[in-house]
């Protein structure tokens, strides 16, 4: 990245910054003095974040949101594809709708955001694309055929972007959180939460700030030579995967 881009005041776009992990990531960039924007559907936003309503399942809405952000903050230099959903169901009972909604949001949504974001990055010959996957992407999870497939797909996406755009100063990496304490995991049955806890070497669930730290690093000048990597933030849960 250019020296100017390395300093605070970078143009950052995080999808789904109204709550959970996305909110913590956006807050971290705001604290660093960056110009932070989000494409979001509902709720309120942290102070200092420019919100553009949109839906990552809709190309026109993503493209329009980027244009608005670029008008106000300049070309996006760091994209964090965080928006995601679950629709857990056993394989034999999973509907097409449950499968497609998850893949359309988590995988195609990240694609739409990375594609639009890459335009300005190619011009600038600099940029960071960070995709929020999950330990479940490579570890698998019962009832999560849709979610796991969508999150594993992000690894191939980041690695293909790396091969395509690595020579233009652009990096693409995956952050794979484990069990992080947010609405998404609080929705799991108590018994399932307990089972996960017993299998996490760190002996605790992660905090949203743990994930924000990995993203902050991947966006930093020190991570310029890291691309196509999968960074686990899972207390050791997915080791070896
Ligand atoms: P939450 O359910 O708390 O938040 C999900 C966010 O995604 C919300 O802001 C939500 O918006 C947004 N979102 C969902 N669908 C869309 C859409 N179509 N367009 C725009 N925004 C959308 O989840 P987490 O914060 O826990 O998860 C964030 C990311 O981290 C997800 O990709 C998730 O898969 C991943 N992850 C989470 C883990 C965890 O343990 N919590 C573990 C591993 C990965 P809205 O509020 O409007 O619904």
Return the pLDDT at 2.
42
* Burial grade of 81 (CB within 10 A; 0-12, 13-18, 19 or more): buried
DSSP notation for 153-192:
HHHHHHHHHHHHHGGGTEEEEEEEE-SB-SHHHHTS-HHH
pLDDT, tens only, 195-208: 889 999 999 999 99
Q: Residue 1 carries which DSSP code?
A: -
pLDDT band at 5 (very low <50, low <70, confident <90, very high): very low
179 lines ligand 1 (CB under 6 A): yes
Q: Tell me which architecture the domain covering 3-179+208-228 has in CATH.
A: 3-Layer(aba) Sandwich (3.40)
Gap from CA of 183 to ligand 1 centroid (Å): 9
Distance, in Å, from the CA atom of 65 to the CA atom of 82, rounded to the nearest integer, reads 15
Distance, in Å, from the CA atom of 108 to the CA atom of 181, rounded to the nearest integer, reads 25
Whole-number mean pLDDT of the chain? 95
Which percentage of the chain shows pLDDT scores above 90? 90
pLDDT, tens only, 100-140: 999 999 999 999 999 999 999 999 999 999 999 999 999 99
Task: Give me the long-range contacts of 44-53 (CB less than 8 A, separation at least 24).
Answer: 44/18, 45/17, 45/18, 46/17, 49/17, 51/17, 51/18
Distance of CA 171 to the CA centre of its chain: 14
pLDDT, tens only, 138-193: 999 999 999 999 999 999 999 999 999 999 999 999 999 999 999 888 888 899 88
pLDDT, tens only, 18-46: 999 999 999 999 999 999 999 999 999 99
Say if residues 214 and 179 touch (Cβ distance below 8 Å).
no
Ranges of each domain in the chain: 3-179+208-228
Return the pLDDT at 187.
86
Gap from CA of 222 to ligand 1 centroid (Å): 27
Sign of the Cα pseudo-torsion (199, 202, 205, 207, in order):
negative
Distance, in Å, from the CA atom of 54 to the CA atom of 59, rounded to the nearest integer, reads 10
182 lines ligand 1 (CB under 6 A): yes
Candidate from 133, 184, 196 with most ligand 1 atoms within 8 A of CB, to mutate: 184
Return the pLDDT at 4.
42
* Number of other CB atoms surrounding residue 90 within 10 Å: 10
pLDDT, tens only, 219-232: 999 999 999 999 99
Return the pLDDT at 7.
52
Lowest mean pLDDT among 4-8, 47-51, 114-118, 124-128: 4-8
Distance, in Å, from the CA atom of 85 to the CA atom of 177, rounded to the nearest integer, reads 14
Write b or e for each residue in 62-77: b if 16 or more Cβ atoms lie within 10 A of its Cβ, otherwise e: bbbbbebbbeebebbb
Q: Which two three-digit tokens encode residue 90?
A: 């056993």
């Amino acid at each position: 990245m250019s020296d100017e881009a390395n300093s605070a005041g970078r143009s950052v776009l995080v999808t789904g910054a109204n709550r959970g992990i996305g909110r913590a990531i956006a807050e971290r960039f705001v604290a660093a003095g960056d110009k932070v924007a989000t494409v979001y559907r509902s709720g309120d936003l942290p102070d200092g974040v420019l919100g553009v309503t949109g839906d990552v399942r809709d190309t026109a809405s993503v493209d329009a949101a980027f244009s608005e952000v670029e008008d106000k903050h300049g070309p996006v230099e760091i994209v964090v594809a965080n928006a995601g959903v679950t629709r857990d169901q056993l394989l034999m009972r999973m509907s097409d709708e449950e499968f497609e909604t998850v893949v359309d949001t988590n995988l195609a949504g990240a694609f739409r955001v990375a594609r639009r974001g890459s335009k300005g990055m190619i011009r600038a010959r600099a940029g960071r694309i960070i995709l929020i996957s999950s330990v479940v992407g490579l570890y698998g999870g019962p009832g999560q055929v849709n979610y796991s497939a969508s999150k594993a797909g992000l690894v191939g996406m980041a690695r293909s972007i790396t091969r395509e755009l690595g020579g233009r100063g652009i990096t693409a990496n995956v952050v794979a959180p484990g069990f992080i304490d947010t609405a998404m995991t609080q929705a799991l049955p108590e018994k399932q939460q307990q089972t996960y806890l017993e299998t996490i070497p760190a002996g605790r669930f992660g905090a949203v700030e743990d994930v924000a730290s990995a993203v902050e690093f991947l966006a930093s000048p020190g991570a310029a030579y890291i691309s196509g990597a999968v960074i686990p933030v899972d207390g050791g849960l997915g080791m070896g995967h």
